[in-house]
């Protein structure tokens, strides 16, 4: 049995690597408001406490997410909730790309939008969602999540190539090939984990609680942030030998040019 596939950890001890934290700038890319808050925000809280700069980039405003509310009214409400949730974990910069919620399309337009943000913010680490059909625990992934996750991984390479989207140079955005790794949240087969025991978990819970109108729209009693995140992080903890952890699949990127050993 592969414990990283079948369950996060075992009584025998840690089974995953700790996510490296020798970096200073991170860009977190998601499809909708509240996507980052389902666990990743706990890790963000840890990182901002360390003095790291984390920026959020949302492909949509989540306007199709509340059945009882017209998209024209839902969009500003969900944007406000996302900004409030970001503040709970020390994130001041939240940007939206205005792709249409529910029907985000993979392609050069989306990739260019993400590359534009990468070249502006120059992250060393990028966090996004898993793009497999199934996520951790066998949960079926949502269409926008898959599209945005894959586009973000591809954009991380595009960002350093001046001949892909050369029009961005006209905006004063030079290539950025300083992205060391792309971390996928909610993967079927995680490779790394972040310890969020204690304060990071509490701040992550507060971040998800900021999405009160959205979670209320899921129906009475349908979802409660505290028990959910406490359970999810608790399930991940044994993978790192700690009380609570958030799991990621990490793709390490090699900058263009000669290998580092040459």
pTM, rounded to two decimals: 0.90
- Does residue 18 lie within any of the structural domains? no
How far is Cα 109 from Cα 148, in angstroms, rounded to an integer? 12
Question: Which pair of structure tokens corresponds to residue 17?
Answer: 């690597």
Whether the predicted pLDDT of 159 surpasses 90: yes
In this structure, the strands spanning 181-185 and 245-252 are antiparallel
pLDDT for 216 equals: 79
- Does residue 10 lie within any of the structural domains? no
Q: Looking up tokens 């992250």, which residue turns up?
A: 123
pLDDT digits (tens, 9 = 90+) for 162-217: 999 999 999 999 999 999 999 999 999 999 999 999 999 999 999 999 999 888 76
Give the bridge partners for 251, in sequence order. Answer: 182
The CATH number of whichever domain residue 190 belongs to comes to 3.40.50.10320
- Does residue 231 lie within any of the structural domains? yes
How many domains does the chain divide into?
Answer: 1
128: pLDDT confidence band, cut at 50, 70 and 90?
very high
Share of the chain above pLDDT 70, in %: 89
- Does residue 40 lie within any of the structural domains? yes
- Does residue 155 lie within any of the structural domains? yes
pLDDT for 1 equals: 26
Give the residue numbers spanning the domain of 62.
Answer: 24-252
How far is Cα 186 from Cα 158, in angstroms, rounded to an integer? 24
- Does residue 9 lie within any of the structural domains? no
Q: Looking up tokens 């909610």, which residue turns up?
A: 186
pLDDT for 219 equals: 59
DSSP result, the chain: --HHHHSS-BTTB--SEEPP---SEEEEEESSTTTTTTTHHHHHHHHHHTT-EEEEEESS--TTS-TTS-HHHHHHHHHHHHHHHHHHTT---EEE--PPTT----SHHHHHHHHHHHHHH--SEEEEE--SSB-GGGPBPPHHHHHHHHHHHHHHHHTT-TTSSGGGGGGT--------EEEEES-SS--EEEE-TTHHHHHHHHHHHT-HHHHHTT-TTS--HHHHHHHHHHHHGGGTTSS-EEEEEEEE-PPSSS-TT-
How far is Cα 75 from Cα 61, in angstroms, rounded to an integer? 5
- Does residue 3 lie within any of the structural domains? no
Residues 6+ apart with CB under 8 A from 182: 125, 126, 127, 128, 152, 153, 156, 250, 251, 253
Question: Which of these, 133, 68, 123, lies nearest to 91 by C-alpha position?
Answer: 123
pLDDT for 222 equals: 63
- Does residue 261 lie within any of the structural domains? no
């Amino acid at each position: 049995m592969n414990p990283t596939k079948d369950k996060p950890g075992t009584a025998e001890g840690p089974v995953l690597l700790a996510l490296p934290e020798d970096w200073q700038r991170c860009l977190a890319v998601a499809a909708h408001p509240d996507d980052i808050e389902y666990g990743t925000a706990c890790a963000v809280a840890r990182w901002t406490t360390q003095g790291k700069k984390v920026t959020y980039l949302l492909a949509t405003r989540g306007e199709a997410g509340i059945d009882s509310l017209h998209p024209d009214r839902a969009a500003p409400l969900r944007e406000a909730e996302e900004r409030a949730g970001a503040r709970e974990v020390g994130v001041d910069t939240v940007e939206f790309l205005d792709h249409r919620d529910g029907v985000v399309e993979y392609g050069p337009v989306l990739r260019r939008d993400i590359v534009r943000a990468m070249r502006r913010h120059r992250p060393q680490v990028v966090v996004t969602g898993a793009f497999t059909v199934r996520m951790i625990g066998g949960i079926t992934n949502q269409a926008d999540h898959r599209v945005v996750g894959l586009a973000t991984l591809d954009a991380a390479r595009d960002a350093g190539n001046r001949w892909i989207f050369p029009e961005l140079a006209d905006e004063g955005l030079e290539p950025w090939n300083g992205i060391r790794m792309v971390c996928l949240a909610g993967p079927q087969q995680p490779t790394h984990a972040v310890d969020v025991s204690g304060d990071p978990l509490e701040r992550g819970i507060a971040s998800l609680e900021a999405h009160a109108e959205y979670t209320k729209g899921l129906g009475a009693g349908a979802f409660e942030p505290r028990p959910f995140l406490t359970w999810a992080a608790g399930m991940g903890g044994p993978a790192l030998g700690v009380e609570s952890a958030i799991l990621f699949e990490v793709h390490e990127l090699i900058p263009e040019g000669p290998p580092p050993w040459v």
